[in-house]
Amino acid sequence: MRQPIQFQLNDRPANLTVDPNRMLLWVLRTDAGLTGTKYGCGQALCGACTVLVNGEAVRSCMYPMQLVEGKEVVTAEGLARNGDLHPLQQAFVDHDALQCGYCTSGMIVNAYSLLAKNPTPSRDEILAGMNGNLCRCGSHNRVVRAIQAAADMMEGARP
Amino acid sequence: MNAREWGVELDTLDRREMVKLLGGGIFILFHVGEPSSAQARQFGRYPDDFNAFLRIGGDGRVALFSGKIEMGQGIYTALAQMLADELDVSLDSIDMVMGDTLVCPSDMATVGSLTIRQFGPALRRAGAEARAVLLQLAAEHLGIPVGRLTVEDGVVAVQDDPGRTASYAQLAQGQRIERQVEEGVRTKDRSELRICGRPAARTDAREKVTGQAQYTGDVQLPGMVYARILRPPAHDATLEHVDTSAAEAVEGVQVVRDGDLVAVLHEYPDVAEHALSRVEARYTEPEPTVNSETIFDHLVEAAPSPQTVASAGNLDDGERLATQTFDNTYREPYLAHAPMEPHTAVAEVEGDHATVWAATQAPFWLGGPVAEALNIPSANVRVITPFVGGGFGGKTNTQHAVEAARLAKLAGRPVQVAWTRREEFFYDSFQPASIMNVRSGVDEAGKVVYWDYETLFAGSRGADLFYDIPHHRVLARGSWGGRDGGSNQAHPFSVGAWRGPGAHTNVFAVESQIDVMAAAAEIDPLSFRLNNLQNDRMRRVLEGAADKFGRQWQGAPSGRGYGVACADYAGTYVATMVEVTVDRAEGTVRVQRVVCAQDMGEVINPEGATLQMEGCITMGLGFALAEQIRFEGRRVLDQNFDTYEIPKFSWLPTIETVLIENTELPPSGGGEPPIATMGAVIANAIYDAVGVRMVELPMTPERIRRALQES
């Protein structure tokens, strides 16, 4: 049943021997020991488990390991560089774009993918792009502001 | 680290010895004060001697040991601000140690927006006491009287010789001083505060944006296995037959059973889940008697006898003065808390000791039930509370912790129980369905002359009158707490507090009825309110909101979709104004803009307070427009976010908040007040937009379409 699966995980090669039918979420949280990615619903309805696979935001609770072979996976733990927060992470801190923080990893990763596709989104585009990520504390207003701020920061940094 | 590794036997550990365990430093023990009798009834009493303490260590770090917990509400930051100000240290020199029952004294639970209001003042006195002790030590050390010393950033200096200094770290080194805070300690005046009243960024933000913050589900112990537990299809169903052989055939699975508790254990939670799906079980269910449609008739039958909350004048006299009278019934369904983090607990049992990590608002309520389940002394149970992924009143039960403890004992190794979303919906202690009957009347001048209010299962919060109504009576039949809500087995499942419990229900009825009267009197809803209340604080929040929202109020329905509602939530005053658009064909409501003004007395962290207001407003869109638990008998039909819809980004209005400057009053709670207004303010705006009065929550498209057809 188990088979070796090789992929890039947060810029490092990973080689795990796992059941290919297992979902990426649980392999990340257990085998890989990366618990920043959260379980929220198990049915791709809440976005707490969002990670990047080849730059695309996917719901890792419904993303089987067999699809991960040879791909690049990035989680919330993989966004900072040498201790420097990614502009999105910094903007979430600066704008208090979180409360309990449980949905935050998924929010940031989803926003990362949103900005990769559309570096200067309008407010409505942010609302549409983030609509699959749920937050019960009601931090939405700040998340929108943080994404706008990060977009500005990243736009300014571009040559 | 478990209790054994601390080198202590918890059952012989006295509260002061617990403090000694922490080694050297300056310890300030303090007591939060007597809880009100209502709180004591609901939550139990505080310990007599002390229920929190500070330590100033030889490294200059200041640690606050408190039984409170952080679940997103921001007390991690706001309490640190209060303490840093009194002690004259920087915010980042403070460490929060919260919700660990081994090292933190018992402190009820983190509920009711009480932390800043009740705990805060005591913390300030403790900070002041600590500063006094340190100044005394500095005076001895420097040979200078206290009166000639100043403190900044944890360093004591001689006023006229600033080169001569002694840091708190130096002063605390090698000390072992223990003081209990006495009454009458002088704390700083507002004008002396430098950290409180100014926005402070969350001190837990960096951990949370990097995925490093630890929640209970992130706790992984050597040898730990994950449990998935066999669940009945309905509450009170009886397990008749179970066959676990197919599950046991899954590699690495251990099945354990203790009576009705049947669980599948595996080193991976998802494999345990898969194995659980192979367990065959047969249950008999109780005959369904009620469902989400018939529940209100049932509750009218089941409601206990009324208790009088307020009463004045004579209702008959009031009715005779009225030129128009109104009689409406308002209803709210069961609501789920649906925190993003489901209930989770990890337990490690060694002999007659247990350590439990739990997602909980009430770490001190877990020890007893866990001990009872394991048949060990409750003092042998240590509960540790990592970051909590949302509570909203729903994380005050003990089931998850007891399950983890029982399974850890059975399995002989640490066990993590992490509820699935389905389990979270199934075992939630819902906000109870409630009914409010309101009769009222106005005279020719637009004054409300009588008010006869009866609430079923919403309790009295938010039903107190701040309007000046000469003849009134407010009755409460049952409350929101406990499975029975004040009446034996009235509800089909357990119910309890839900952010702003009872208040968002009562305020929906009260502030809708006020609007009904304003419309009939042909007075705009803002003026109607101001004409009928003299309470200064309420007038200020209404004026404050109107200053920002605009003052073009007209008699409803004006077609513009403006709404207003206000509330007094446990001493915090709040007024909310919204603008909505209603799609007449679809029945959908879009809240475009929300303005909310709040007077919460002294504001410790304006940034945190604003964030809580925004949170209440955004969360409040849910119960107003969409949320309701549907059930058939004791089956809960909503099992995930596909059918139980909570607010999404696409619903987000623009939100503007106003904090009313009120330095006269001590801080009151901020985690709940604006949510109380959200049902009514949207109902009132819908009426202003399309002229239909919604008396039942949630105001779904279907109900709005029906109301429009009937109008």
The more confident residue out of B8 and B89 is B89
Whether residue B389 and residue A128 make contact (CB cut-off 8 A), yes or no, is: no
| Confidence label for B51 from pLDDT (cuts 50, 70 and 90) | confident
Between residues A35 and B33, which one has the greater pLDDT? Answer: A35
Interface probe with A: pick from B69, B98, B203, B210, most Cβ of A within 10 Å:
B210
Q: Which residues are bridge partners to B453 per DSSP?
A: B438, B474
In this predicted structure, what is the pLDDT of residue A155? Answer: 87
Model confidence at B5: pLDDT above 60: no
Q: How many residues does chain B have?
A: 711
3-state class of B176 per DSSP? Answer: strand
Q: Does the pLDDT value for residue B116 go beyond 90? A: no
Element (H, E) at B169: helix B168-172
User: Which of B92-96, B480-484, B600-604 is least confident?
Assistant: B480-484
Helix B367-374, helix B399-411: angle, nearest 10:
30
For chain B, say whether A98 makes contact (Cβ under 8 Å).
yes
- Does residue B69 contact residue B113 with C-beta atoms inside 8 Å? no
pLDDT, tens digit, 9 for 90 and up, residues B264-297: 999 999 999 999 999 999 999 999 899 999 999 9
Average confidence (pLDDT) over B446-462 = 96
Q: Is the pLDDT of residue B94 over 90?
A: yes
Instruction: Note the pLDDT of residue B6.
Output: 40
Quickly state the pLDDT bin for B42 (edges 50, 70, 90): low
Alpha carbon separation from B243 to B143, B228, B232, B278 (Å, rounded): 79, 15, 14, 9
Written as one letter, the residue type at A98 is L
How many CB atoms are closer than 10 A to CB B308?
10
Q: pLDDT-derived band of residue B4, with 50, 70 and 90 as boundaries?
A: very low
pLDDT for the residue numbered B3: 38
> Cβ contacts (< 8 Å) between B611 and chain A: which residues?
96, 99, 139, 142
B548-572: average pLDDT: 97
A114-136 average pLDDT score: 98
Collect all residues with Cβ–Cβ distance below 8 Å to B351 and sequence separation of at least 6. none
B396 burial (CB, 10 Å; 0-12 / 13-18 / 19+) is: middle
How many CB contacts within 8 angstroms connect chain A with chain B?
176
Q: Reply yes or no on whether the pLDDT at B38 is more than 60.
A: no
The predicted pLDDT at position B319 comes to 97
User: Per residue in A21-33, pLDDT tens?
Assistant: 999 999 999 999 9
Contact yes or no for B470/B318 (Cβ under 8 A): yes
Cβ–Cβ contact A137 with B under 8 A: yes
Task: Determine the pLDDT at residue B79.
Answer: 94
Pick the residue with more confidence: B483 or B312? B312
- Residues of chain A with Cβ-Cβ distance to B416 below 8 Å are none
Predicted pLDDT at B485:
59
Average pLDDT score over residue span B521-533: 98
Residues of A with Cβ-Cβ distance to B213 under 8 angstroms: 101
Within an 8 Å CB–CB cutoff, is residue B269 touching chain A? yes
Task: State residue B608 phi and psi, 5-degree precision.
Answer: -65, -40
Name the DSSP class of B304: P
CB pair distance less than 8 Å for B268 and A34: no
Cβ contact, residue pair A38, B215, below 8 Å: yes
pLDDT of residue B36: 58
| Joined tokens for residue B409 | 């004992």
Assess A142–B contact: CB distance below 8 Å, yes or no. yes
Kindly state the percentage of chain B with pLDDT values over 70. 94
Percent of chain B with pLDDT over 90: 81
Give the contacts of A97 (CB within 8 A, at least 6 positions apart).
A91, A104, A107, A139, A142, A143, A145, A146
Look over chain B and give the mean of its residue pLDDT values, rounded to a whole number. 92
Question: Lowest mean pLDDT: which of A46-60, B28-42, B415-429, B439-453?
Answer: B28-42
pLDDT for residue B599 is more than 50: yes
Which amino acid is located at B413 in the chain? R
Q: What is the pLDDT of residues B460-477, one digit of tens each?
A: 999 989 999 999 999 999
Q: Please name the residue ranges forming H helices in chain A.
A: 24-29, 87-94, 104-117, 123-129, 140-157
pLDDT digits (tens, 9 = 90+) for B674-693: 999 999 999 999 999 999 99
Task: Give this prediction's pTM.
Answer: 0.94
Residues 413-442 of B with CB under 8 A from A: 418, 420-421
For residues B566, B568, B572, B576, the Cα torsion angle rounded to the nearest 10 degrees is -10
Q: Render pLDDT for B178-232 as a digit per residue (tens, 0 to 9).
A: 988 887 889 999 899 999 999 888 889 999 999 999 999 999 999 999 999 999 9
| pLDDT on residue B14 | 61
A113 touches chain B (CB under 8 A): no
| Pairing, β B415-418 against β B225-229 | parallel
DSSP state of B609: H
A77 touches chain B (CB under 8 A): yes
* Phi, psi dihedral angles at B319 (to 5 degrees): -65, -35
| Chain B positions in Cβ-Cβ contact with residue A143 (cut-off 8 Å) | 649
Residue B436, pLDDT > 70, answer yes
